[in-house]
Amino acid sequence: MDIPFSTWHPAIKKRRSRRRFDPNLPITPETLAALDKVCNQFAPFPSARSRLVIESTESVFKGIIGSYGKVKGAPAFIAFIGNMDDPFVQERVGYTGEGIILEATALGLNTCWVAGFFRPEIVTSLIEVSNKERILAVTPVGYARESESWEEKLMTRFGRSHNRLPLSKLVRGLPKEQWPNWINVSLEAARLAPSAVNRQPWGFNVQDDSITVFVRTSGPEFNVSKRLDCGIAMLHVEVAAVNSGCKGEWEFFPSPQVAKFKIRP
Ligand SMILES: Cc1cc2nc3c(=O)[nH]c(=O)nc-3n(C[C@H](O)[C@H](O)[C@H](O)COP(=O)(O)O)c2cc1C
């Protein structure tokens, strides 16, 4: 499936993690069918896939302390599944999953990447998973309560979730004055990517025809690979590049580099 860049690019700015859903607002069968279709069709790498599960999600999500910080009230969730034989599985799951998250956002739904605080054993009891595969993350889907609950406000403050680092802290290589337009737009989109506890572990090395994503930060991963976060930023890079008229390809690298997006001449 080609990236539907004209709907996904505006969704980058619109998306925000939401954790409290309105149980009185069900998702229509048409919207669920559209989401399910994209889960099945947006699978650019054989080692990464997404599955929509239409089930009450209460038992899937865990609280951070007791039930504090728990995702509540969503009528469905999506599991992001990776085949662990692939050395690039984390970034490929991040890239694929973020496509689905942007599609859900464009459909008017709310989401929240959750990689630490869910129960994989409950998810694997609901979908078929091979012994090489792992559920790397999930997202609730549904319609968020109109106003943020006090707990949600505290959670977002705890994650300082809407702050993002300036590009000056993230970018190396070609000086900003020499960036072509597609680089400007793509890096701005990458900067807005979500990451676990908003840690923004990515860095970008810029050449005039390419952007290389690398892991910029050192320190513990807390069971969630920084390469998964980088995969999310990669999808944002490509969506914005294609929306600016520049198509290209990814080349994957071992740590601490992640992948290079080079545009076609
Ligand atoms: C890989 C990943 C894992 C995450 N895990 C959790 C989680 O376990 N619980 C949670 O409440 N939020 C989780 N988040 C959401 C982040 O806290 C959130 O994306 C970040 O603070 C940025 O906020 P925003 O998404 O509203 O822009 C996760 C995000 C990512 C990308």
Whether the CB of 129 sits within 6 Å of ligand 1: no
Residue nearest to atom 28 of ligand 1 (CA): 196
Calculate how far, in angstroms, residue 139's C-alpha sits from the geometric centre of ligand 1: 10
> What average pLDDT does range 236-258 have in this prediction?
97
Whether the CB of 17 sits within 6 Å of ligand 1: yes
CA dist 174 and 141 (Å) reads 40
Q: What is the pLDDT of residue 146?
A: 75
Q: Position 26: which residue type?
A: P
Q: What is the pLDDT of residue 123?
A: 96
149 pLDDT band (50/70/90 cuts)?
A: confident
Range(s) within the chain of domains with CATH label 3.40.109.30: 167-263
Residue-wise pLDDT tens digits, 150-178: 777 776 665 566 799 999 999 999 999 99
> What average pLDDT does range 190-206 have in this prediction?
96
Whether the CB of 197 sits within 6 Å of ligand 1: yes
| pLDDT over 70 at 145, yes or no | yes
CA dist 64 and 199 (Å) reads 17
Q: What is the pLDDT of residue 116?
A: 87
CB-based contacts of 244: which residues, under 8 Å, 6+ apart? 181, 182, 185, 186
CATH 3.40.109.30 fits 167-263, yes or no: yes
Query: Judging by beta carbons within 10 Å of its beta carbon (0-12, 13-18, 19+), is residue 254 exposed, middle or buried?
Result: exposed
Whether the CB of 144 sits within 6 Å of ligand 1: no
Whether the CB of 161 sits within 6 Å of ligand 1: yes
Whether the CB of 154 sits within 6 Å of ligand 1: no
Which of 11-20, 54-63, 141-150 is predicted most confidently? Answer: 11-20
Give me the residues paired with residue 207 across strands.
210
99, 8 in Cβ contact below 8 A? Answer: yes
Q: What is the mean pLDDT of the chain?
A: 94
Whether the CB of 133 sits within 6 Å of ligand 1: no
Q: What dotted CATH number matches 5-157?
A: 3.40.109.10
Q: Could you count the other beta carbons within 10 Å of the beta carbon of residue 29?
A: 9
Q: What is the pLDDT of residue 46?
A: 98
Range(s) within the chain of domains with CATH label 3.40.109.10: 5-157
Q: What is the pLDDT of residue 52?
A: 98
Pocket test for ligand 1, best of 12, 114, 228 (most atoms within 8 A of CB): 114
Residue-wise pLDDT tens digits, 175-197: 999 999 999 999 999 999 999 98
